Amino acid sequence: MIARRRQTKEVAVGHVVIGGSNDISIQSMTNIPTKNVEGNVRQICELFEGGCEIVRLAVTNLEDVKFFAEIRKILRANDIPIPMVADVHFSPAIALNCLEVADKVRINAGNFSDKLLGPQSFSDDEFLLGKDKLQKSLGKFFRRAKDLKKSVRIGINHGSLAPRMVYKFGHGDVAMWESARECLEVAREVQFEDIVLSFKTSGVKEMIAANRLACSKLDEMGSYYPIHLGVTESGNGDYARIKSAMGIGCLLMDGIGDTLRVSLTEDPIREMEVAKNILQGCGARCYGIEFIACPSCGRTSYDIQSVLEELKSHLGKQTGSRNLKIAVMGCMVNGLGEAGDADFAIIGSPNGTLSLYQNRNCILKNVSRKEICKNLTKICQLKLDGT
Ligand code: SF4
């Protein structure tokens, strides 16, 4: 359970509001060129159906801005209201143009006006020159965002910090924070507030440290910008999922995080299930029935794996106004105690039969697996329907 969610201000991205007491939203990004309008529309529709609440597209040149607008037009014509974020690197000019067509523009603090390939050492004057250049281009960008009432994510990525920041503050969380702070100073000068911040690294420890440092600094300053969470370049398969769950989950348990993206080197639709599981596992959002089950041992006298699978197949995708927890336990030794906070618990008896408990009271005693699954499915469906 999340102890206390960090206080943040609300930032609107189209009709979705990030921060405050709003649900922690799920984001994703399409993984095909933006000029592939049809493919992007298809991918975004699928993501939207799968639970994605904000979608991001790469905008790499001015042509892409037009494709972005076209994709948006098609989606809106098909009643797909998903907020759209333009992802821009390297070019203040493209970022400015994107403000006209996107709900939010994501920029990278490290390459907005700095060059990533360049000198590795900087005199004080050279450092200030870089800062001055950023202030000019970012100030113009923020002013336009403010006029158009668009929001901005300032992305701080460990792998693309400006060389002058690395030279001055090292290659770690301090440089990441200083990079954000420099951008926030510009935002304050032009009184632009609709900002979401992210601090991403491919290493879980570094990502957690960077977010914790940034949030403690922001809180000291009384700056309650919402935080976008993600472990970047986490790869694919189980390992990527575990890394994302550790990094994002740990911060959510700290109360940090207002929106998230699970980055997988897979079809983006696969990110949805992981994001939902992280949020539900942390107690941050509920996407359906929560199943808990013991691992089973020598005391288990029935096929616990198949009972769990059968219940999940009947009820796993059910959602409703009630949050339900079902425990499937092998035996009475720890069963009822471990399942104490579950709404329903199935517990095996040594003779192979099963009993069903509701709030620790036995409502079906020593029945077959078939009977218990049928009854529990029916009761849960009635509860989820609110009847
Ligand atoms: S609940 Fe019973 S069957 Fe399950 S692991 Fe514990 S002791 Fe074993």
**Domain annotation covers residue 257:** yes
Pocket test of ligand 1: the residue of 292, 297, 338 to mutate, having most ligand atoms within 8 Å of its CB, is 297
CB contact set of 338 (below 8 Å; sequence gap of 6+)? 292, 294, 327, 329
Please state, in angstroms and as integers, the Cα–Cα distance from residue 315 to each residue in 71, 236, 237, following that order.
Answer: 36, 28, 25
**Domain annotation covers residue 185:** yes
- pLDDT tens readout for residues 49-68: 999 999 999 999 999 999 99
Please state, in angstroms and as integers, the Cα–Cα distance from residue 281 to each residue in 67, 246, 275, 277, 290, following that order.
Answer: 38, 11, 10, 6, 9
Q: Dihedral of CA 367/370/373/375: which sign?
A: negative
Average pLDDT over residues 274-297: 93
Same domain, 320 and 275: no
Same domain, 308 and 268: no
Q: Which of 281, 313, 329 is the last residue of a domain?
A: 281
Asked if residues 294 and 358 have their Cβ atoms less than 8 Å apart, the reply is no
Residue type, 101: V
Lowest mean pLDDT among 6-10, 78-82, 206-210, 290-294: 290-294
pLDDT exceeds 60 at position 178: yes
Same domain, 272 and 295: no
- pLDDT tens readout for residues 185-204: 999 999 999 999 999 999 99
Average pLDDT over residues 347-369: 94
CB contact set of 18 (below 8 Å; sequence gap of 6+)? 10, 11, 12, 25, 54, 151, 196, 226, 228, 258, 259
Same domain, 267 and 318: no
- Beta strands 344-348 and 227-229: pairing type? unpaired
Number of domains comprising the chain? 2
Cα of 268 from ligand 1 centre, angstroms: 37
Same domain, 65 and 205: yes
**Domain annotation covers residue 258:** yes
Cα of 300 from ligand 1 centre, angstroms: 6
pLDDT score of 82: 98
Same domain, 100 and 120: yes
Average pLDDT over residues 9-20: 98
Q: Does residue 138's CB lie within 6 angstroms of at least one atom of ligand 1?
A: no
pLDDT score of 136: 95
pLDDT score of 332: 86
Same domain, 250 and 297: no
DSSP letter assigned to residue 31:
-
Cα of 310 from ligand 1 centre, angstroms: 19
Asked if residues 99 and 148 have their Cβ atoms less than 8 Å apart, the reply is yes
DSSP string, 103-157: SEEEEETTTSSS-SSS-S---HHHHHHHHHHHHHHHHHHHHHHHHHT-EEEEEEE
Same domain, 68 and 201: yes
**Domain annotation covers residue 372:** yes
Can you tell me the distance from the alpha carbon of 12 to that of 149, in angstroms, rounded to the nearest whole number?
A: 9
**Domain annotation covers residue 4:** no
pLDDT score of 288: 85
Please state, in angstroms and as integers, the Cα–Cα distance from residue 34 to each residue in 64, 68, 69, 80, following that order.
Answer: 6, 7, 10, 18
Average pLDDT over residues 283-304: 92
pLDDT exceeds 80 at position 1: no
**Domain annotation covers residue 343:** yes
Of 259, 245, 325, residue with least CA distance to 292 = 325
Cα of 368 from ligand 1 centre, angstroms: 19
Q: Does residue 297's CB lie within 6 angstroms of at least one atom of ligand 1?
A: yes
Can you tell me the distance from the alpha carbon of 331 to that of 335, in angstroms, rounded to the nearest whole number?
A: 5
Confidence of residue 307 (pLDDT cuts 50, 70, 90): very high
Q: Does residue 156's CB lie within 6 angstroms of at least one atom of ligand 1?
A: no
- pLDDT tens readout for residues 124-165: 999 999 999 999 999 999 999 999 999 999 999 999 899 999
Average pLDDT over residues 170-180: 96
- Which CATH number is 361's domain given? 3.30.413.10
Q: Which of 247, 281, 315 is the last residue of a domain?
A: 281
Lowest mean pLDDT among 1-15, 173-187, 328-342: 328-342
Q: Which of 218, 253, 281 is the last residue of a domain?
A: 281
The domain in which residue 168 lies consists of 11-281
Same domain, 55 and 156: yes
Can you tell me the distance from the alpha carbon of 166 to that of 18, in angstroms, rounded to the nearest whole number?
A: 30
Report CA 63 to chain centroid distance, whole Å: 29
pLDDT score of 2: 52
Confidence of residue 116 (pLDDT cuts 50, 70, 90): confident
**Domain annotation covers residue 5:** no
- Nearest ligand 1 atom, CA 348: 3
Please state, for a pLDDT cut of 90, what percent of the chain lies above it.
84
Cα of 351 from ligand 1 centre, angstroms: 15
Q: Does residue 300's CB lie within 6 angstroms of at least one atom of ligand 1?
A: yes
pLDDT exceeds 70 at position 387: no
Mean per-residue pLDDT of the chain: 93
Same domain, 175 and 106: yes
**Domain annotation covers residue 2:** no
Same domain, 232 and 162: yes
Confidence of residue 321 (pLDDT cuts 50, 70, 90): very low
Lowest mean pLDDT among 21-30, 268-277, 328-337: 328-337
- Which CATH number is 257's domain given? 3.20.20.20
DSSP string, 269-318: HHHHHHHHHHHHHTTS---SPEEEE----TT--S-HHHHHHHHHHHHTT-
Same domain, 268 and 298: no
**CA atoms within 13 A of residue 46's CA, in its CB half-sphere:** 15
Confidence of residue 382 (pLDDT cuts 50, 70, 90): confident
Closest C-alpha residue for ligand 1 atom 5: 296
Cα of 330 from ligand 1 centre, angstroms: 5
pLDDT exceeds 70 at position 319: no
Q: Does residue 295's CB lie within 6 angstroms of at least one atom of ligand 1?
A: yes
Confidence of residue 320 (pLDDT cuts 50, 70, 90): low
The structure tokens listed for 99 are 């403000």
Task: Please report which residue ranges of the chain form alpha helices under DSSP H.
Answer: 37-49, 62-77, 92-101, 124-148, 163-169, 173-189, 204-221, 237-254, 269-281, 304-315, 335-338, 369-384
pLDDT greater at residue 339 or residue 364: 364
pLDDT exceeds 80 at position 237: yes
The structure tokens listed for 113 are 């006006």
pLDDT greater at residue 259 or residue 116: 259
